Structure 1
Amino acid sequence: MKDFVIILGSSTPPTNLHHQHSSKPKKPNSSFNKLSPSKKHPHSIPAVYSHQHSYPLLPSSSSVRWDPASGRRDSPLTYYAEMASKLAEDGRLEDFGMIVETVVASGADSSRFVSMLNVEFVSKGVALSVREGNVKSVIEVLKKVEKLGVPPVKLVDGFGLDSMKGELRRIVGSGEVEEAVDLLEVLRGFQFTIKEVVDPSYIIKVCVDKRNPDLAIRYACLLPHAQILFCSIINEFGKKRDLVSALTAYEMSKKNLSAPNMFLYRAIIDTCGLCGDYMTSRTIYEDLVDEKITPNIYVFNSLMNVNAHDLGYTLVVYKDMQNLGIKADMASYNILLKACCLAHRVDLAQDIYNEVKHLESTGVLKLDVFTYCTIIKVFADARLWQMALKIKDDMQSAGVSPNTVTWSSLISACANAGLVERAFQLFEEMLLAGCEPNSQCCNILLHACVEVGQYDRAFRLFQRWKGGQEGHTSNIDSMLSTKQLNNRTSIPTAPNSVTNSNPPSFAKLSFKPTTATYNILMKACCTDYYRAKALMGEMKSLGLSPNHLSWSILIDICGASGNVKNAIQILKTMRVTGIKPDVIAYTTAIKVCIGSKNLKLAFSLFEEMKRHRVQPNLVTYNTLLRARSRYGSLHEVQQCLAVYQDMRKAGYKSNDIYLKELIEEWCEGVIKGNHQKQEGLSSSERTDSDRPHSLLLEKIAVHLQMSTAGIPAVDLRGLTKVEARIVVLAVLRMIKENYVQGHSIKDDMMIILGVSKGRSDASKENSEVKDAVMKLLQGELGLEVLLVEPQIKKERQIDLQGDPVLLEIAGKNSLSTEPLSSTRRPVVLQRLKVTRKSLYHWLKRRADVIRR
């Protein structure tokens, strides 16, 4: 075998070293230079020096043993293997790596050298280096070992592997996930079993917490069950409601798959449902169709379930599934029933139920408890309690035992129909069947009692179910006088209710009140504010947090008792306790203010909720618009018209007739008190219910917004004669109120009637509007009205054939913005002018009437 010399480090050996050969080693160019072998001394042992020590690492040649069996000395390769193992055991992995690197460079038999290494020593050295934090140096050494053509995993046993596991856990625990994944990728390249190093679920959890889908997918790709981990990663991001990261993980997962994975498609669609983005689920489905990928039944079921709120789309997906030859299973029909329930399609739900019953009779499907629960809920929501009870009979005939959800739906069906006693009978049947009710079921019964006015019965049930906790409410009762307690039941009960009936004799329940339970009981307090407040205190003592509805009920009760100031204070207390008042709380407070005739406070609350970006709902708008039975000032009209406009911008439809009648009454106040007799309008003229009133109210709102900026031009185009009268009166009343406040008349009042030429029906309408307005202004109010004709000037133009023609063009004073007609004639608007002098004298007369 050829001799080779290994020198570790670049320091010069000391002068007192003893060598076995007279030739001095050549000075290396670097620490890892291989010296040329000596031909004169084929069996000489080279000296190996360390930069950490001042003595030779290899002994003299006299220590080289003679092997009697082979008749020759041990091979130098054996000695180097022993020395490398010893260096590794001492934790000197850098020196160990230099020997390995030199053996590779020398061209020696690497496999033989590796077989001579002591695995136990190497593993101990790896463990020692890892514990000292030298993980990177361990990796570098393992890379050098890999160059020998031998997997490094063969040189690391339990000691080294356990130490690396501990170090990786420490790195992950310190939050350095990316560093840990980088290290795992290296170990995976060394053929270490990654799953045994770190728990995959823990790594994925940390990656999800850090919102790093790229790192999570990189880690999953290191494991043999990567396809399952891809789905887990997407699901975990879905639980965090992080759809963006989930979609990123989905796209990266597809790139690492060689074939379509239905589990992956189902996972991302379910995640879209968790995140409330059903449109993205549809896009994913469309992409699958474009890629000619046929989803399986589970993907279709997930897609239908996520889009169950849209019955039309759900039925389209179901039709696609049928066209592809995929048979629906029981879950498919359950989802269809769920979609019918959400859409309140009782008829379609019945058809699906009958179809499923037919399939069951032929042995194709077997109805499960979820199917029966869903169809019962469909009938319960529609208050078809008899049909719901019939489904229960079918269910029991088929040998399917109703569960808690089923019984709750049945009880709810009867409770919604006002059949309180029937609901209690079902509750007893539920107990006899051995099915323990949950808090939701008990709350349904309490709510049924409250809805029919059986308040005492609701409290007795609550005390009975609480068992040993009666003391809390008993203390509440002791705080109240007998008169206060009797006031709670002053509301008449329903005809079929029995207010004095005792609670049914059921056994003690493991009943745990919820926030909803206390909300129902607070409603049962009616106007008893102190009892409701005590219930809220009891709720807090049990560790339950009052929600928005709790505070809203308390505001309503406080307002019903006549304490408006305290009701508004409760609204402020909500914010102090960390609960931002929602639209229900604000609307309740607004109702309280309107009920006490404090309209100023009600409208200030409306402005406050908009400042806090709380969007009013339809109830809020209608409450404000119906706050007044009449208008007394321009400000009040402007206030309500602003609410009306805000309501229409928000997309709500209002009852325009009610608001129109109030404004019409306010407008008619202009001519009240005149010496001339007021001519009333007939009922047919005043109602005109077939015509939408939004145009009228919008025009009035636009004109009244310019209250102090001068007299606006009154545009009557598109209005009937009755509506035109109201708009003119509205502007006149605005002028009158501004005059009283000190705003003088500066301009004439211009009234735009409409186009003077055109269709006969349009001309007829304009003529009727003109006559009605003239009769109002001249006959009833005594104002001076002039008909304004626009100035027409002729201009010479060139027609298409190049011949000169004369065109009549409206002057600059024309308010027309419409294009010229096909006959090239201008659009001329008819206008009326009420002179400023006439308006001034009319206002003067009105002021004198007011003074008198």
Structure 2
Amino acid sequence: MREALSILASATVLPPSATPSGNYRRRHRHSTTSTTTKPRPNHNPKQKPQFPASSPLLSSSRWANRQTLAYYTKLASKLADDGKFDDFLMIAESVVASGVNMSEFLALLESEHLARGIVRLLCDGKLDSLVATLFNGIQKLGVEPVGLFDEVAIESLKAECRRLLKCGELERLVSLIEIFAGFQFIIKELVEPSEFIKLCITKREPTAAIRYAHIFPHAEVLFCSIILEFGKKRDLGSALKAFEASEKILSSPNMHAYRTIIDVCGLCGDYLKSRTIYEGLLAENITPNIYVFNSLMNVNSHDLSYTLDIYKKMETLGMMSDITSHNILLKSCCLAAKVELAQDTYKQIRKLESKGVLKLDDFTYSTIIKVFADAKMWKHALEIREDMLLSGIIPNTITWSSLISACANAGLVEKAIILFDEMLQADAQPNTQCFNTLLHACVEVCQFDRAFRLFQCWKERGSQQTISGDKLNRAYNEAVDQMSEMGVPLRLCSHLTMRVPYRPTTSTYNIMMKACGTDYYRAKDLIDEMKTFNLTPNHISWSILIDVCGGSGNVLGALQILASMRESGIQPDVIAYTTAIKICVKQKKPKLAFKLFAEMKKYQIKPNMVTYNTILRARSIDGSLLGLQQCLAIYQQMRKAGYKPNDYHLKQLIEDWCEGVLQTERRSERQFASHITDFGRQSLLLEKVAEYLQDSNAESLFIDLRGLTKVEARIVVLAVIRKIKEKYVAGKSIKDDLSIILEQQRHGDRASRDESGVGEAVIRLLKHDLALEVIEAGSRTGSDRDNKGSPTNSSLNFEVDEKGSLAETSESPTRRPIILQRLKVTRKSLHQWLHRKTVSSKR
């Protein structure tokens, strides 16, 4: 091949005398003498172009080159047909080097050979080789590769791109598309943008999507589409990556992209990120448009204060709020249950409408109706409907659903059903929520039989709806078309009755299961019936079934349902466990309740407020030390979890448990002990009791009553003594005396020695009620300087250690001494008391 090319190169420099002879010369002379004959016009664009007489290729001095060029043109066509574009380009380069224009050389070629060679490589899957050789080589010679493709070659290229897309080779495909775009190919004809972006979303490939969008002149539109699609997949990270790329690529801020990313933040539940994006705009001194503000308000509509701030910010900027802004503000009021603010906003909108500034839409009326529906203000909701009709706006399905909910929430079942009938007569198509709302209303007022009758009727026959007006005409025309084909005459009537199909949902069956009361088998049949509608029980369904089974007294059956729930592939949640715990507590099965509570920790299910309160109700069932310790531990967990516990029940439990120490109960003291109403003091008391009852303090026989009231000190002392009794019964002996520290007044105070009465109450409890031997002792823990500025005789400080002993400290005496009253209950008296209690309990 290279030898042939050298021959071609040498032939281009032949001298003028080296011309052919014979017939060829005569043909040449004939062609040169026929100058009067005009060439035929070239009407076929694929026909080889006619070279001008001045072309060096046709000059007489290079007449021999024509044969050589014809030979290599034919050879190049054959090589192109075989897909051997490396050799083809070698010939093309040599021809161009000889002085022949590349476009003229290509015109001499048979173009179908090039196209067939391209198709051959594409069919063999050698697209990369085609791009690397032909595309780059032909462009170096001054020819665009896109001109080599005919319709068949273009279709082959499309097929290969679709194959790569189907195989998911996004990185390879996007690299090729970038090359095609550089070679002037029409990209959207090769790969459908929506299909490529859809695959990028599915495979979580934001980089490929960004590179693809960057190719198009309308990149800002594609970027918004990419951001939104990632948001629908709840992939905020990829959406933010596409958004940041759009900011870098686009020359000016794209408000549509800002609005889209803020909407995506709402879809992904990250409202704080939407605020950060908005603050970034303000930091760059960019004023958002009304649509960005509306999106920001909508995403943060759950936070009424923030929504109002954004609304006021719009007013500060002089931006006119549209009806969407006011609707979102109404929505925020609805979510925050601010009825009065919603009413004021509604009045303001009506005022603007009267001035011609705004026009209320169905969303405005539906939202304010829902505000009243949630607040059970059904009369106000019906008044809004009248305003709506006077404005010429026809209530839609959402409006009717909110009206029905308003009456249903107020317990007006009859009124709700009347509204449902009016909805059907108004040609409005009810949705499943309307049916469910009516069923729920019946269940809430305990009309269980009525709920089942409606449910069964709707399942079998649907709901009758009277059609008139435009809908009737459309239905009539459709019926005429059908009847005319069968040759049956049809008379026009003033109305038409049709059946609205009814398809229950999982929520529908959950409502009906609540109507079963304690009838477990009926509820179980509803679970089985759900399968006929291709429905699957959810967490709520299983929780209701557990509650129904437990309500009939079948605790083991309820626990079996909990296990079956996990076996069915649904992990029990906090509601299911709380329901099961409630059943165990109600049926006086505290051990099972605590076992379920421990199982929640095993599966890392966090208890909620209801769970904690439910498990703490087990206090009245189990009166042992272990049961109390479990309750106290749960109480402390509840506080650490951030819940504010109701301490009354646990305080009552501790009082009952502690008072059990006494041989005889004194009614007056029992009543006096229960008069703690300060819940803050209760929390401190419970923390103190919990500290002394922990197993880690099992060896400690020391009680510090400083800072406690008489009632609190009594409970703490009784709790520790009850704990000593429980340990003694379990076989653990007492090894030391019981020490009690009482805080007294500072030395020199005019107040009485025991103004609080804590010491007197504790001594009376120990000596008179429990018949224990108590030894009183006072200790000085610090000293002040005397009036002359000199230290007192006592220069030592003492503090009480964890065992109740007084320990000397090295701190200088700068304060007045605090006199501590120390009580000691001897080990001997404790043994005697415990022995008496044990003997009396056996009797």
TM-score (norm 2): 0.84
Alignment of 1:620-769 (within 5 A): 620-629=611-620, 632-673=623-664, 678=666, 680-681=668-669, 683=671, 686-692=674-680, 693-706=682-695, 709-754=698-743, 757=746, 767-769=756-758
Q: Which amino acid aligns with 2:363?
A: F
Pick one of 82, 88, 111 that aligns with 1:96.
Answer: 88
1:166: how far off? 0.9
Q: In the alignment, which residue of structure 1 is the partner of 2:766?
A: 777
Change (3 A) 1:35 1:640: same
Is 1:127 the counterpart of 2:119 in the alignment? Answer: yes
1:508: how far off? 3.6
Change (3 A) 1:63 1:159: farther
* Higher helix content, 1 or 2: 2
> More displaced, 311-320 or 780-789?
780-789
**Corresponding residue SS for 1:513:** coil
Q: In the alignment, which residue of structure 2 is the partner of 1:539?
A: 530
**Corresponding residue SS for 2:742:** strand
- List alignment gaps of at least 5 residues for structure 2: 33-52, 54-58, 464-496, 786-790
Is 1:847 the counterpart of 2:835 in the alignment? Answer: no
Change (3 A) 1:776 1:35: farther
**Corresponding residue SS for 1:714:** strand
Tell whether the 8 Å contact from 1:713 to 1:751 is kept in structure 2 after alignment.
yes
Is 1:344 the counterpart of 2:333 in the alignment? Answer: no
Q: Distance in 1 between matches of 2:722 and 2:447?
A: 52
**Corresponding residue SS for 2:824:** strand
Q: In the alignment, which residue of structure 2 is the partner of 1:194?
A: 187
Q: Distance in 2 between matches of 1:754 and 1:346?
A: 54
Tell whether the 8 Å contact from 1:609 to 1:615 is kept in structure 2 after alignment.
yes
Change (3 A) 1:794 1:683: closer
1:110: how far off? 4.3
Q: Distance in 2 between matches of 1:262 and 1:178?
A: 30
Is 1:87 the counterpart of 2:79 in the alignment? Answer: yes
Tell whether the 8 Å contact from 2:799 to 2:806 is kept in structure 1 after alignment.
no
Deviation string 1:251-272 (CA, Å, 9 cap, x unpaired) is 1121111110011111111111
- List alignment gaps of at least 5 residues for structure 1: 1-6, 14-18, 27-33, 46-60, 471-505, 797-802
Tell whether the 8 Å contact from 1:207 to 1:215 is kept in structure 2 after alignment.
yes
Pick one of 197, 205, 209 that aligns with 1:216.
Answer: 209
Deviation string 1:603-622 (CA, Å, 9 cap, x unpaired) is 21121122112222222222
> More displaced, 558-567 or 746-755?
746-755
Q: Distance in 2 between matches of 1:758 and 1:290?
A: 64
Q: In the alignment, which residue of structure 2 is the partner of 1:243?
A: 236
Q: Which amino acid aligns with 2:562?
A: L
**Corresponding residue SS for 1:687:** coil
1:787: how far off? 4.8
Q: In the alignment, which residue of structure 1 is the partner of 2:128?
A: 136
Is 1:517 the counterpart of 2:508 in the alignment? Answer: yes
Alignment of 1:17-28 (within 5 A): none
Q: In the alignment, which residue of structure 2 is the partner of 1:498?
A: none
**Corresponding residue SS for 1:750:** strand
Is 1:267 the counterpart of 2:256 in the alignment? Answer: no
Is 1:549 the counterpart of 2:549 in the alignment? Answer: no
Q: Distance in 2 between matches of 1:821 and 1:304?
A: 63
Pick one of 807, 810, 813 that aligns with 2:798.
Answer: 810
CA RMSD of aligned residues (A): 3.5
Change (3 A) 1:773 1:173: same
Is 1:392 the counterpart of 2:381 in the alignment? Answer: no
Deviation string 1:758-786 (CA, Å, 9 cap, x unpaired) is 99799978853233222322332233334
Q: Distance in 2 between matches of 1:105 and 1:765?
A: 119
Alignment of 1:370-389 (within 5 A): 370-389=363-382
Change (3 A) 1:336 1:107: farther
1:634: how far off? 1.0
Q: In the alignment, which residue of structure 2 is the partner of 1:562?
A: 553
1:118: how far off? 4.6
Q: In the alignment, which residue of structure 1 is the partner of 2:415?
A: 422
Q: Which amino acid aligns with 1:131?
A: C
Aligned pair count reads 767
Q: Distance in 2 between matches of 1:308 and 1:838?
A: 68
Alignment of 1:148-227 (within 5 A): 148-227=141-220
1:719: how far off? 2.2
Q: In the alignment, which residue of structure 2 is the partner of 1:310?
A: 303
Tell whether the 8 Å contact from 1:100 to 1:144 is kept in structure 2 after alignment.
no
1:751: how far off? 2.8
Q: Which amino acid aligns with 2:769?
A: E
Q: Distance in 2 between matches of 1:147 and 1:349?
A: 71
Tell whether the 8 Å contact from 1:809 to 1:825 is kept in structure 2 after alignment.
no
Tell whether the 8 Å contact from 2:377 to 2:406 is kept in structure 1 after alignment.
yes
Q: In the alignment, which residue of structure 2 is the partner of 1:332?
A: 325
Change (3 A) 1:158 1:698: same
Alignment of 1:450-599 (within 5 A): 450-467=443-460, 508-599=499-590
Deviation string 1:386-408 (CA, Å, 9 cap, x unpaired) is 10111011111111111111111
Q: In the alignment, which residue of structure 1 is the partner of 2:356?
A: 363
Deviation string 1:316-365 (CA, Å, 9 cap, x unpaired) is 11111221222111111111111111100001101110010011111111
**Corresponding residue SS for 1:221:** helix
**Corresponding residue SS for 1:680:** helix
Tell whether the 8 Å contact from 1:725 to 1:772 is kept in structure 2 after alignment.
yes
Q: Distance in 1 between matches of 2:114 and 2:400?
A: 68
**Corresponding residue SS for 2:645:** coil
Tell whether the 8 Å contact from 1:415 to 1:448 is kept in structure 2 after alignment.
yes
Q: Distance in 1 between matches of 2:783 and 2:306?
A: 62
**Corresponding residue SS for 1:145:** helix
TM-score (norm 1): 0.83
Q: Distance in 1 between matches of 2:121 and 2:150?
A: 15
> More displaced, 764-773 or 712-721?
764-773
Q: Which amino acid aligns with 2:196?
A: I
Q: In the alignment, which residue of structure 1 is the partner of 2:482?
A: none
Q: Distance in 2 between matches of 1:258 and 1:556?
A: 61
1:126: how far off? 1.3
**Corresponding residue SS for 1:626:** helix
**Corresponding residue SS for 1:139:** helix
**Corresponding residue SS for 2:328:** helix
Tell whether the 8 Å contact from 1:304 to 1:317 is kept in structure 2 after alignment.
yes
> More displaced, 752-761 or 736-745?
752-761
Q: In the alignment, which residue of structure 2 is the partner of 1:499?
A: none
1:125: how far off? 1.7
Tell whether the 8 Å contact from 2:585 to 2:617 is kept in structure 1 after alignment.
no
**Corresponding residue SS for 2:593:** helix
Change (3 A) 1:764 1:260: farther
Q: Distance in 1 between matches of 2:17 and 2:585?
A: 111
Tell whether the 8 Å contact from 1:808 to 1:825 is kept in structure 2 after alignment.
no
Q: Which amino acid aligns with 2:414?
A: E
Q: Distance in 2 between matches of 1:592 and 1:237?
A: 44
Q: Distance in 1 between matches of 2:767 and 2:18?
A: 135
Q: Which amino acid aligns with 1:686?
A: S
Tell whether the 8 Å contact from 2:231 to 2:265 is kept in structure 1 after alignment.
yes
1:631: how far off? 5.3
Q: Distance in 2 between matches of 1:64 and 1:118?
A: 28
Change (3 A) 1:642 1:811: closer
**Corresponding residue SS for 1:810:** strand
